[in-house]
A and B are shown apart, each in its own frame.
Chain A
Amino acid sequence: MTVAAKKKVLRRRVATAAALRSRAISFRVPWTLVIFVIMATVPWVGSRYDTFLAAQITIDALFAVSLNLLLGTTGLVSFGHVAYFGVGAYVCGILMKTYEVPFSLAFPAAGLGAALFALISGYFCVRLIKLYFAMLTLAFSQIVWAIAYKWNAVTGGDQGLPEIPYPNLDWMSAIPGCGDLSIGARFYLLTLVIVAVSLAAVHRVVRSPFGRVLTTIRDNPERAAFLGINVRLYRLAAFVVAGGLAGLAGALYGIFSRGVFADYVFWSKSAEILIMTILGGIGYFWGPPVGAAALVWLNQVITDYTQYWSFVLGVILLVLLFGFPGGIVGGLDLLWQRVKRLRNA
């Protein structure tokens, strides 16, 4: 199966799963398990390039889901989410490259570092109304960028940190079938497992009472306050969790792309991840991963034909805004509702 066809199947499956599950509590077929298995087979079934794409999708999926915890669940529009991605990438990269700290320590440290930065910046951000909140998140994100760009001693400045080492994955030889895999493929599998576990955890959180409280804050913060909710505190909590997760995604990305560079943290990246999330559909848990898959795949296909990827992305965004505000999953959900109605008629 070609990459394109596989991605199409993947997207369709994920979208149907989302459409089925969007309000259902239990589901008949474990679609998410099916997708996980499919993605796990990529290193054997696909080419090295397929593995590269799959890894990109996986990491972006985590990053986008973390943003959607803010955007879709809590109603917080952040333009600076890439700051935490960047902090995670740099913390992990610096620890592993400069200080030769093992991945098993550097990785959680990245998440904690990002969460800590989210706590500090979030403390100031959540006190502001919508518009100023967005602007302050952008300001903090550009501060991170400015530090990354200029602090040559620690971050490598505009040269960045090339050649981040892979973690030691020799232990994976013990797993049946993995012995022949390259280090890149092994890291992909590790990434897939980490992201799958993280997504499962976030899913749990979103369905928990805490997550329910966040949705009330999204729908009507004034009313939420008058149910007894300390709105600022919950927003801050969501901000910290989202930041930490973004940091984990950043750490993985730094290793995956074999380097951490300042332009990872430029504000246009925040815009990209926003588009990805909305493309998939912010009202659905699986929206962002679908958006990630769609955008990575589209980028691949389009840049083969033309250098004007920005133009295409802009047009896609326009189509989204004017035609499909619910994103891909939203569109499919509408379709599914219509099919159900026809069936019941």
Chain B
Amino acid sequence: MGGLTTAMFLFLIASGLSLIFGVMRIINFAHGSFYMFGAYLAWQAVQWLHPTGGRFWLAALLAAVGVGILGAVTERLFFRSLYGREELYQLLFTYALVLILGDAAKFIWGTDQLSVSAPPALAGSVQILGTTQPLYSLFIIAIGPAIAFALWWVLNRTGAGRMIRAAQMDREMLDALGANVATVYTVTFALSAFLAGLSGALVTPIQSIVPGMDVLIIVQAFIVVVIGGMGSLWGTFWGSVIYGQVLSFGILIFPGFSLFSVFALMAVILIVRPWGLFGRPL
């Protein structure tokens, strides 16, 4: 069960990372920072709206939108000037963001652990298969596939989504067809940031908000996307499931081993099938 919760919540985060990679061909290190900001903003929103609890969903939504806007602004102001430059510079830019956003969060919210309580409806626990599971964890497990379908629907059934997928496959062709590629990039970046912020906000009831959560999560999200295949929605989904299972089994076998095993799995995939289980060769 724990493996599934981890898997689904990783999927939420990794989906945005995979999306950005599919369209813009870069690894956004700052994705973890967006996630962290989503968590902090959710906490902040709860403080403003109703400090004693409640209004969780609104807070989460506000946080996600806030981070989405942050993403859009970042792309427009800074990232846009780096297109056409070497990928190394683009990657380093996202790393500069990690440094800046990390300290910004420390500056604004301090270094103490913060937490947000689960919405009353999901605050309890439930008996399943002889074990007691917190309701909220089950919610996370349920929302994973829900978001996956929602994303799939957006990407395949809406005009904007189709543009994004077209950009993923052939940038130049899209440009030649007259579509505004620049806008597609901004929208993709914003959507990716929104997803990161949303996952950050949604994770607050089960995980405390601390500095450093950005760095810890980005590595895991990265592994998931590598295993599943960069740019593939279902790849990210199954990649998260596999990651969750490997992690839980690893812990059962030998506690120290699980950490090693996820990185070893990442290395093996890159050696044998670099574009991941569901990805396409570049």
Contacts and interface: CB of A to CB of B under 8 A. Distances in A.
A318 interface: yes
A146 B270 contact: no
Interface string B72-86: 000000100110010
Contacts of A128: 270, 274
Given A131-B282, A314-B99, A143 B263 contact: yes
A143 B82 CA distance: 32
Contact of A135 (B92, B226, B256): B226
A135 B260 contact: no
Interface string A130-145: 1110111011101100
Given A128-B274, A311-B100, A317-B99, A136 B267 contact: yes
A53 interface: no
A139 B263 contact: yes
Contacts of A267: 219
B282 A140 contact: no
Contacts of A77: 87-88
B201 interface: no
A150 B264 CA distance: 14
B107 interface: yes
* Chain A interface size, under 10 / 10 to 19 / 20 to 34 / 35 or more: 35 or more
B98 interface: yes
Interface in A277-330: 278, 308, 310-311, 313-315, 317-318, 321-322, 325
A143 to B, nearest CB: 5
B260 A147 contact: yes
B252 interface: no
Contacts, number: 97
A340 to B, nearest CB: 28
Chain A interface SS verdict (over half) = helix
Majority SS at the chain B contact face? helix
Nearest to A266: B215
Contacts of B270: 124, 128, 132, 135-136, 139
A91 interface: no
A140 B267 contact: yes
A40 B134 CA distance: 64
B104 A129 contact: no
Contacts of A313: 99
B150 interface: no
B282 A310 contact: no
B259 A314 contact: no
Contact of B87 (A130, A149, A325): A130
Nearest to B21: A131
Contacts of A139: 226, 263, 266-267, 270
Contacts of B222: 135, 138
Contacts of B85: 325
Contacts of A146: 259-260, 263
A267 B85 CA distance: 24
A343 to B, nearest CB: 32
Contacts of A275: 92
Nearest to B281: A129
Given A136-B267, A150-B256, A325-B89, A314 B274 contact: no
A81 to B, nearest CB: 13
Nearest to B99: A314
A159 interface: no
Given A142-B219, A308-B106, A321 B256 contact: no
Nearest to B101: A314
B98 A314 contact: yes
Contacts of A314: 96-100, 103
A117 to B, nearest CB: 13
Interface string A145-157: 0110111100000
25 contacts: A77-B88, A124-B267, A128-B274, A129-B282, A131-B25, A132-B270, A134-B91, A135-B222, A135-B270, A136-B267, A139-B266, A142-B219, A142-B263, A147-B260, A310-B103, A314-B97, A314-B100, A314-B103, A315-B96, A315-B100, A317-B93, A317-B96, A321-B82, A321-B92, A322-B78
Give 7 closest A-B pairs by Cβ, nearest first.
Answer: A314-B99, A150-B256, A311-B103, A314-B100, A317-B96, A139-B267, A132-B274
Interface of B: 25, 27, 78, 81-82, 85, 87-89, 91-93, 95-100, 102-104, 106-107, 215, 219, 222, 226, 256-257, 259-260, 263-264, 266-267, 270-271, 274, 282
Given A124-B267, A313-B99, 8 more contacts: A131-B25, A135-B27, A136-B270, A147-B260, A150-B256, A314-B96, A317-B99, A318-B78
